[in-house]
Amino acid sequence: MNKYCPKCGTAVTAKAKFCPKCGFAFQDGDNGVKQDAAGDVTAQSVSAAPADSAAAKNSQAAAPKKNQARIEYDDKHASSKKHWTRWVVAAVVAVVLIVFGYRQFYVPHTVESALDANNFTAAKGYTASANLSKHEVVIYPNSTAEQKIAQELTQNEYDTRRIAVENNLADLARDLAGKTFGTWKVGIVLRDSQGSTLMWEYNGTKETHRFQTSNAGRQLREEYLNEKLSSNIGFLLGGL
């Protein structure tokens, strides 16, 4: 079997120490480039460069694909993030508009409609003052409405039975509680030269003040009964 000089390619014997053509000195154990019986050329010094070269090419080819995949992922992630950001902004804007519409339009309209539905109108002798931020409605009867209230109390002999205006106030409190958020305070107040007198008041749907059970109401009840008693005694004495 011959070997070949790795420097000039000259065929030499397997035991040659030097190349007869270029003088290349073979090292101990260095067989150079061999040619087997079938004529195939092999070399111990030949490395797996072709395989490594192919792997390098595959690696270089895979790198752009990875970069492309990363770019596509980043683009998709950024697009998804923008999508959710738009939804969040839209939701916040919607909530702001709903709250604004509720406070500025819905609540005033609801309060006004409830007052009309329960006969607390100017035509019935009432004016109303509403503080929407505090959820308070104060109703003031005029002189005509006050006279009607006094007549109803007298007809009941100033006892604890409800009168019509008190029932209307209860209905107003239920309407506001059922159609709006929060707890409303509604009341009827009499005004005169000496000041004002709270007649009836509801906090939510619970009646928290009644004229009939107040000190003033009890005093009128006592005076009414005394007058009635005196009238009856006078009538009896007059008949004797």
- 123 and 227 share one domain: yes
- The domain total for the chain is 3
Give the tokens for residue 31.
Answer: 């067989």
Structure tokens at 145: 């409405």
**Domain boundary, last residue among 117, 140, 160:** 117
Q: What is the pTM of this model?
A: 0.62
Residue whose structure tokens are 């009432």:
126
As a whole number of angstroms, the distance between CA 117 and CA 184 comes to 17
Tell me, yes or no, whether 24 and 107 share the same domain. Answer: no
Whether 1 and 75 map to the same domain: the answer is no
Task: State whether 132 and 71 are in the same domain.
Answer: no
Which of 184, 181, 186, 182 is CA-nearest to residue 198?
A: 186
Q: Kindly state whether residues 36 and 131 are assigned to the same domain.
A: no
**Secondary structure tally for the chain: helices H, strands E:** 5, 9
Cα distance from N-terminal residue to C-terminal residue, the chain? 169
How far is the C-alpha of 71 from the C-alpha of 170, rounded, in Å?
67
pLDDT at site 101: 92
Predicted pLDDT of residue 124? 95
Residue ranges, the chain, pLDDT below 70: 1, 28-77, 232-240
Quick one: 63 and 39 in the same domain?
no
Q: What is the pLDDT of residue 214?
A: 95
The answer to whether the CB of 169 falls within 8 A of the CB of 188 is yes
**Statement to judge: residues 152 and 183 lie in one domain:** yes
For residues 138 and 197, membership in a common domain is answered with yes
Domain co-membership, 32 together with 70: no
Domain edge (last residue) among 92, 117, 142: 117
3-class secondary-structure state, position 229? helix
CA distances from 110 to 80, 91, 172, 201 (A): 42, 26, 11, 19
| 188 and 174 in a common domain | yes
State whether residue 198 is helix, strand or coil. Answer: strand
**In which domain, by residue range, is 100 found?**
48-117
Are 78 and 151 part of one and the same domain? no
Burial code (b: 16+ CB inside 10 Å, e: under 16) for 11-45 equals ebeeebeebeeeebebeeeeebbeeeeeeeeeeee
Closest CA to 126 of 195, 167, 187: 187
Do 123 and 202 fall into the same domain? yes
Residue 67's pLDDT is: 64
Contact 41, 33 (CB under 8 A): yes
